[in-house]
Structure 1
Amino acid sequence: MPSDKLYNDPKLVEFYDIENGWAADSEYLKSISAGHTSILDLGCGTGLLTSALAATGKRVVGVDPAVAMLDVARLRPGGDRVRWVEGDGRTIRLNESFDLVLLSGHAFQVFLTREDQLSVLQTIAVHLAPEGSFIFDSRNPRMEEWRKWTPAESERDIVHTVLGKILAWNDVRHDAETDIVEYGTFYRIAKDGCTYAAQSKIAFPSYEDLVSMMDEVGLVVERWLGGWDGRPFEISAPEIIPIGRRR
């Protein structure tokens, strides 16, 4: 989790924005933030979305446990408008409240146990203003997206502005007993053959699990989305995206 090289090794963090740039989730979250004046971005990563939200004049705090990610975030254009905090989503307590608390990029899935997932949901709850909203995303386990994370299906070419052409790929292992997925991420630099690699683990909580945990920590879901295109959640949707408030 916090020790994952993918997020903590500066050499690997260099590839993060190339693979995880501005996308449909960023666009949706920027859109729904329009009616909010204060935002807590848990698991803010390199701060691409966080900085964009702060650029509109909102009070924005970005929290992440990975120093290497925050180092990138602080240097990002507009990063000086954000208060960056090194912290763990399970335990961070800022003693302030926000109109909107978000956790995007499937960051919720790095918390592997029900206990840890409940702790993150409690963090969301304690930082919500009375009329505040929360939103986060998690892949729908029914769709078994991880089955495509094999070397053959995931191989791709990316381009780094300094290192040039990079061959990237993943591999994957699934623990049927725990439903934990462990996947490798690999980057091979074309000009010298140097390869950077990391091993990561993520969980796939079900819709039913999320409903139960949300109720346990006092969160009420007002809308369930099944994708960042705004579709409603149903059992074959790719995403599980709850939007709600404190009870």
Structure 2
Amino acid sequence: MFSDADSAALYDVLNPWDPAVWPGDAFYEELVMAADAVADVGCGTGGMLHRAREQGHRGRLVGLDPDRAALHRARRRSDIEWVEGSAVSAPWHAAFDLVTMTGHAFQCLVDDAEVRGSLRAIRAALRDGGRFVFETRHPQARAWEEWNPSNASDVTDARGRSLRVWHEVESVVGDVVTFSGTTAEPAGAVLRVERTRLRFLDVTTLDAFLAEADLVVEARYGDWDRGPVTGTSREIITIAVPARRTESR
């Protein structure tokens, strides 16, 4: 038996939030600590917001995620608001200085309607001058080619069990990659298989979706050191802000 709660706890083992180790975590922490009100869309188990409180953030922190088991772990801190739901259902209006989607969560928005609806909801949640910050894997890097059983990870989970975890691509159709994630015992007994679809948008398509949602790119990076997007970049890191409309006279 490998429950939803076990899977959420394993996520924290595989993906610890640690700005001292991971440049992407440090990139987001700087932005979060400088913002008065922050919403983390696709917050998962809440590692980024937990860390912000631990570091002394005194403003409003909100985490939104559709995964009930992940939110159960997130709620270990009660001084943060936790909301069950998806990006498209974000209920806020002009409430935040900063909205984030970390851990490539933006790629979980697969269908055009889902992308458009989510961006509209995020735009509505931003205050004037607010920022939406997220990253997506650059399709040119073809990251999915590394997702195979030969790159399995051997880990010990929070309950002390030895586990082997691997991914395997099932299909690549257009810009959507479907793959499975398997958790097994070291001897091979499979405990859990989860199927995921991710979308790999290029810069042109991504910016067209942002423009439809009344968002414009303030800054764009190809790595966590704030280097430009180049022909070898593995990331598309975007800081988007509400478009400024010219008032009619």
Q: Normalising by the residue count of structure 1, what TM-score does the alignment of the two structures yield?
A: 0.89
* Corresponding residue for residue 135 of structure 2: 137
Is 1:11 aligned with 2:6?
Answer: yes
Give 3-state SS (helix, strand or coil) of 2:156's partner. Answer: strand
Secondary structure of the corresponding residue to residue 14 of structure 1: helix
1:128 aligns with 126
Structure 2 alignment gaps of length 5 or more: 244-249
Distance in 1 (CA, whole Å) between partners of 2:115 and 2:175 is 14
Q: Deviations over 1:88-109 (max 9, x none)?
A: 1012212451011101111111
Q: Which contiguous aligned blocks of 4+ residues in structure 1 show a shift greater than 3 angstroms?
A: 190-194
Q: 1:155 to 1:20 in 2, by over 3 A?
A: same
For the residue of structure 2 that corresponds to 1:63, the secondary structure is strand
Judge which range, 14-23 or 42-51, deviates more: 14-23
The answer to whether structure 1 residue 106 and structure 2 residue 104 are counterparts is yes
Alignment of 1:176-215 (within 5 A): 176=173, 178-190=174-186, 193=189, 195-215=191-211
CA contact (8 A) 2:9 2:158 kept: no
Residues paired across the two proteins, number: 236
Q: Equivalent residue for 1:86?
A: 84
Q: Equivalent residue for 1:37?
A: 36
Partner of 1:160: 157
Question: 1-side partners of 2:202 and 2:188: how far apart?
Answer: 43
How far, CA to CA, are the matches of 2:79 and 2:183 in structure 1? Answer: 32
Unpaired stretches in structure 1, ≥5 consecutive residues: 1-5
Deviation per residue, 1:44-76 (Å, 9 max, x gap): 00000012223421211110111111000001x
Task: Tell me, in whole angstroms, the C-alpha distance in 2 between the residues paired with 1:96 and 1:128.
Answer: 5
* Alignment match, 1:72: 73
Match of 1:27 in 2: 26
C-alpha separation in 1, matches of 2:107 and 2:42 = 11
Is the 2:90–2:122 contact (alpha carbons within 8 Å) kept by the matching residues of 1?
A: no
